[in-house]
Amino acid sequence: MYYKSTRDSSLRIDSAVAISKGISEEGGLFVPESIPAITMDELKKLADMNYAQRAAAVFSKYLTDFTEAELVYCTENAYSVKNFETENIAEIAHLFDGTYMLELWHGPTCAFKDMALQILPYFLTTSVKKLNLDYKIVILVATSGDTGKAALEGFKDVPGTQIMVFYPEEGVSDMQKRQMVTQEGENVTVCAVKGNFDDCQSGVKTIFTDNDVIDTLEKDGIRFSSANSINWGRLVPQVVYYVSSYVTMASQGEIKWGEKINIVVPTGNFGNILAAYYAKMMGVPIGKLICASNVNKVLTDFIRTGVYDRNREFYATTSPSMDILISSNLERLLYLLSGENDAQIREWFGELASEGRYEVSDDIKAAMSELFYGGYCDDAATKETIRNIYKTYGYTCDTHTAVAVKVYQDYKSETGDTTKTLIASTASPYKFSSSVLSALDESRTSDDEYAMVDALAEMSGMPVPASLAELKTKERRFNGSIDKTDMKTFVLHELGLN
């Protein structure tokens, strides 16, 4: 299996090259040249395997330049009870008639980003070794809150790597900030940026493709790579949990083999839902893909009108990991839907960069609305949904997951579609204690984060994840905050190059 770039279809590289580079030189994203199929028989065979084995089976179709031993090494190290609080790695909770929660937050940082970022360092270091490349990898990360911490945990003290994380100063929850600024490890740097997530993401993308910077690094034996979901090594692990959940649901008799399910994903950068699309295109019986946004509803509008327009007000919401106006992974979907038309992608994304807007063709509009349903939910409705789910089903969910639940409820009442449905639950409620608690019982909110964590534990009956409990007494290591225009200087300085 070779990989091309969404902005250069003539490229032909191995997955190890795609993973070690992160992003293509001309600014495009790497995609496999075709989507491999998985048959019903193959799906049934996965039923007897654990999560790591299922992952290796899926990866063997995409990362064909990796040996079986290499895939086993990567998957067994990433998906074990050393790192996850549950043996199943991802849990499925039956919420109500035909609706299931795919809990993707039992990893070390309590958000779904761990599902990919626990394995990415293994993919990356294995790739570099396979390619006989003798350089140090510097990972630059822009985070809306969860990626940063998950990447820090994945890469801390991994030999041959260094990691720098940029987060929007006012754009993350208190627990998210605490998780990052207390990060341990000799090879880590965390820095706040005076701006929003899109500023952090554009800053990182600019540094990545700055030829002066690249040359300076090269002389020092350093290369950049990315842990954002623009890296194929981040995306392909996400395909696994959709394949695996289907297998679990069918083998437990929740659905019949071959029966279609719908999937709902609370969406920001379009990575998680794109992985569900890949699972569907591989042949997993998946019906509608329901794309849930908060009030930064650029994707809802795009799915409904075919116009992508980021020229709008940016809102800081109670679901900060979805406060995004530039959903990078949409580029991969549009590349596929346009028949791999790289010239068209260059044109649209050129317009996005210069005017902040592009409009796709009628064919693509039609394909989008066949595959996807887009909806959004504001903070008030998010809060009400958390309360309703708790009161009705005794289930406590975080703000991002609540956005998905609400949009799914809207979809169901609008369409009458009763297909069984899997909702991606993307974070532990403890990462957003203040918002969740104020939905459950306003009177118990407080200025003390851990008083709220305790109150939430009491009300939800859910154990507090050990990784969050231990932060209470951890020392803050990073206090820096910079202007968005200073990111390049900061990076060069941290690397000792200016």
Active site residues: 113
CA atoms within 13 Å, Cβ hemisphere of 297: 18
Which of residues 175, 322, 325, 336 is near ligand PLP by CB under 6 A? 322
Nearer to ligand PLP, 140 or 322 (CB): 322
Could you say whether residue 272 binds ligand PLP (CB under 6 A)?
A: yes
Q: Token pair for residue 291?
A: 């794309």
Cβ-based nearer residue to ligand PLP, 125 or 321: 321
**Total Cβ atoms within 10 A of residue 442:** 9
Decide whether 288 or 400 has the Cβ nearer to ligand PLP: 400
* Residue 229: CB minimum distance to ligand PLP, A: 5
Is residue 224 near ligand PLP by the rule CB under 6 A?
Answer: no
Q: Is 268 in the site for ligand PLP (CB under 6 A)?
A: yes
Instruction: Compare residues 127 and 238 and give the one whose CB is closer to ligand PLP.
Output: 238
Stretch that binds ligand PLP, among 131-139, 219-227, 261-269, 464-472 (CB under 6 A): 261-269
Does residue 71 contact residue 116 with C-beta atoms inside 8 Å? Answer: no
Task: Return the number of other C-beta atoms located less than 10 Å from residue 12's C-beta.
Answer: 10
Closer residue to ligand PLP in complex, CB, 365/431: 431
d(CA 415, CA 410): 9
Tell me the β-bridge partners of 376. Answer: 293
Q: Which of residues 425-454 bind ligand PLP (CB under 6 A)?
A: 426-427
Q: How far is the CB of 267 from ligand PLP (least distance, A)?
A: 4
CB nearer to ligand PLP: give 125 or 201. Answer: 201
Please select the residue that binds ligand PLP; options are 228, 231, 245, 269, rule is CB under 6 A.
269
**Region of 199-207, 267-275, 459-467, 482-490 interacting with ligand PLP (CB under 6 A):** 267-275
Name the minimum Å distance from CB 435 to ligand PLP: 12
CB of 32 or CB of 268, closer to ligand PLP: 268
- Spatial strand order of the sheet with 261-266 comes to 91-96, 99-103, 421-425, 261-266, 286-293, 372-376
Q: Rounded distance, CA 179 to CA 333, Å?
A: 32
Residue 105 C-beta: closest distance to ligand PLP, Å = 8
Helix or strand (DSSP H, E) at 30:
strand 30-32
Residue range at the interface with ligand PLP (CB under 6 A); choices 56-64, 269-277, 281-289, 454-462: 269-277
Q: Does 293 bind ligand PLP (CB under 6 A)?
A: no
Q: Which of 99, 127, 173, 229 binds ligand PLP (CB under 6 A)?
A: 229
Minimum CB distance to ligand PLP, residue 143 (Å) = 9
Measured from the CB of residue 155, what is the shortest distance to ligand PLP in angstroms? 17
What's the CA gap between 114 and 51, in Å, rounded? 14
CB-based contact 348:309 (threshold 8 Å): no
Q: How far apart are CA 12 and CA 343, in angstroms?
A: 17
In which element (H, E) is residue 163 found? strand 161-168
Identify which range of 81-89, 266-274, 357-365, 447-455 contacts ligand PLP by CB under 6 A.
266-274
What are the phi and psi torsion angles at 13 (to 5°)? Answer: -130, 160
Q: Is 146 in the site for ligand PLP (CB under 6 A)?
A: yes
**Please, are residues 264 and 408 in contact by the beta-carbon 8 Å criterion?**
yes
234 touches ligand PLP by CB under 6 A: no
Smallest gap from residue 268 Cβ to ligand PLP (A): 3
CA angle 270, 464, 434 (to 5 degrees): 65
Residue 396, token pair as written in the block: 């406590």
Asked if 111 is part of the footprint of ligand PLP (rule: CB under 6 A), the reply reads: yes
Closest CA to 398 of 322, 324, 332: 322
The closest alpha carbon to 449, from 176, 177, 183, 174, belongs to 174
Judged by the rule CB under 6 A, the positions of this chain that interact with ligand PLP are 111, 113, 146, 229, 266-272, 321-322, 400, 426-427
